[in-house]
Chains A and B, each alone.
Chain A
Amino acid sequence: MNFFLTIVLDGLIQASWLFVVALGLTLVFGVLKILNIAHGSFYALGAYIAATVVTMVAARSLPPSVGFVAMLLAVAMIASAVGWLLERGLLKMFYGRDEVVLLLVTYAVFLIMEDVTKLIWGVNPIYATQPYELFGNLEFAGLYYVGYDLVLIPISAAIGFAIWFGLNRTVIGKIVLAVIHNEEMSLSMGVRVNRVYAIAFAFGVLLAALAGALTAPKISMQPGLSSDVIILSFAIVVIGGLGSVEGAAVGALLVGLARAASVHLMPQAELFVIYLIMAVVLMFRPEGLFKRETARRI
Chain B
Amino acid sequence: MHPLVMIALVAAVTLFGRALPTWTLSLATIAASNALISLGIVVLARTGNVSFGQGLFFAAGGYGVALIANAWGLTDAVAQVIVGAACGGLLGLVIGPLIARYSGIFFGMLTLALSMVFYGALVKTTALGGSDGFNVGRPSLFGMSFTDPREADFMLYAVSVIVTGFAGIAATILFRSEFGLASLAVRENNLRVEYLGLSANRIVSINFAIAAVFAGASGAFALMAQRHIDPQFAYWTTSGEFVFVAVLAGNQSVAAVFVASMALELVRSFSNLYLPNTWQLVLGIFLLGVILFLPRGIGSLWIRDRRKRRTAADVPLAAERGAAS
CB contacts (< 8 Å) of B120 on chain A: these are 269-272, 274-275
Residue B236, interface by CB 8 Å: yes
Is B113 a contact of A275 with CB atoms below 8 Å?
Answer: yes
Give the residues from 175 to 200 in chain B that come closer than 8 angstroms, CB to CB, to chain A.
Answer: 189, 191-192
A274 and B119 CA atoms in complex are apart in Å by: 12
Is B236 a contact of A231 with CB atoms below 8 Å?
Answer: yes
Q: Considering only CB atoms, which chain B residue lies closest to A104 in the complex? A: B247
Residue A118, interface by CB 8 Å: yes
Binding stretch for chain B, among A45-53, A126-134, A198-206, A234-242: A234-242
B288 in complex: contacting residue of A98, A105, A279, A283, CB < 8 Å = A105
CB contacts (< 8 Å) of A238 on chain B: these are 106, 109, 113
Residue B67, interface by CB 8 Å: no
Is A279 a contact of B117 with CB atoms below 8 Å?
Answer: yes
Is A96 a contact of B321 with CB atoms below 8 Å?
Answer: yes
Measured as residues with beta carbon below 8 angstroms from the partner, the interface class of chain A is: 35 or more
Is A100 a contact of B317 with CB atoms below 8 Å?
Answer: yes
Shortest A254–chain B CB gap in Å is 14
Measured as residues with beta carbon below 8 angstroms from the partner, the interface class of chain B is: 35 or more
Is A101 a contact of B236 with CB atoms below 8 Å?
Answer: no
CB contacts (< 8 Å) of A287 on chain B: these are 106
CB contacts (< 8 Å) of A227 on chain B: these are 236-237
Is B318 a contact of A279 with CB atoms below 8 Å?
Answer: no
Residue of B50, B101, B192, B285 most packed against chain A (CB within 10 A): B50
Residue B136, interface by CB 8 Å: no
Residue A249, interface by CB 8 Å: no
Residue B292, interface by CB 8 Å: yes
A270 and B121 CA atoms in complex are apart in Å by: 9
Residue of B113, B119, B240, B243 most packed against chain A (CB within 10 A): B113
B321 in complex: contacting residue of A97, A104, A278, CB < 8 Å = A97
Residue B143, interface by CB 8 Å: no
Is B236 a contact of A298 with CB atoms below 8 Å?
Answer: no
Residue A145, interface by CB 8 Å: no
Is B110 a contact of A279 with CB atoms below 8 Å?
Answer: yes
Is B236 a contact of A279 with CB atoms below 8 Å?
Answer: no
Q: Considering only CB atoms, which chain A residue lies closest to B117 in the complex? A: A275
Residue B278, interface by CB 8 Å: yes
Is A109 a contact of B284 with CB atoms below 8 Å?
Answer: yes
Is B192 a contact of A298 with CB atoms below 8 Å?
Answer: yes
Residue B13, interface by CB 8 Å: no
Binary interface profile of A, 112-128, with partner B (CB < 8 Å = 1, else 0)?
A: 10111011000100000
Q: A97-B295, A111-B287 are in contact. Are A35 and B114 (CB under 8 A)?
A: no
CB contacts (< 8 Å) of B319 on chain A: these are 98
Is A234 a contact of B117 with CB atoms below 8 Å?
Answer: no
Is B322 a contact of A96 with CB atoms below 8 Å?
Answer: yes
**Main DSSP-derived SS at the B contact region:** helix
Residue B9, interface by CB 8 Å: no
Binary interface profile of B, 260-294, with partner A (CB < 8 Å = 1, else 0)?
A: 00000000000000000111110111011001100
Is B285 a contact of A112 with CB atoms below 8 Å?
Answer: yes
Residue B74, interface by CB 8 Å: no
A271 and B115 CA atoms in complex are apart in Å by: 11
A123 and B276 CA atoms in complex are apart in Å by: 13
Residue A61, interface by CB 8 Å: no
Shortest A293–chain B CB gap in Å is 12
Residue B92, interface by CB 8 Å: no
CB contacts (< 8 Å) of A112 on chain B: these are 280-281, 284-285
Q: A99-B105, A119-B277 are in contact. Are A108 and B112 (CB under 8 A)?
A: no
CB contacts (< 8 Å) of A103 on chain B: these are 105, 108
Give the residues from 35 to 76 in chain B that come closer than 8 angstroms, CB to CB, to chain A.
Answer: 50
Give the residues from 235 to 267 in chain B that come closer than 8 angstroms, CB to CB, to chain A.
Answer: 236-237, 240, 243-244, 247
Q: Considering only CB atoms, which chain A residue lies closest to B323 in the complex? A: A96
B189 in complex: contacting residue of A108, A272, A298, CB < 8 Å = A298
A268 in complex: contacting residue of B104, B124, B283, B318, CB < 8 Å = B124
Is B318 a contact of A115 with CB atoms below 8 Å?
Answer: no
B287 in complex: contacting residue of A95, A104, A231, A274, CB < 8 Å = A104
A287 and B110 CA atoms in complex are apart in Å by: 12
Residue B116, interface by CB 8 Å: yes
Binary interface profile of B, 308-325, with partner A (CB < 8 Å = 1, else 0)?
A: 000000001111111011
11 other A-B residue contacts (CB within 8 Å) besides A104-B317, A111-B287: A97-B291, A111-B283, A115-B281, A118-B278, A119-B277, A227-B236, A231-B116, A238-B106, A268-B125, A279-B114, A282-B113
Identify the B interface with A (CB < 8 A): 50, 98, 101-102, 104-106, 108-110, 112-114, 116-117, 119-121, 123-125, 189, 191-192, 236-237, 240, 243-244, 247, 277-281, 283-285, 287-288, 291-292, 295, 316-322, 324-325
8 contacts between A and B (CB under 8 A): A33-B321, A101-B295, A101-B317, A111-B281, A238-B109, A242-B105, A272-B121, A275-B116
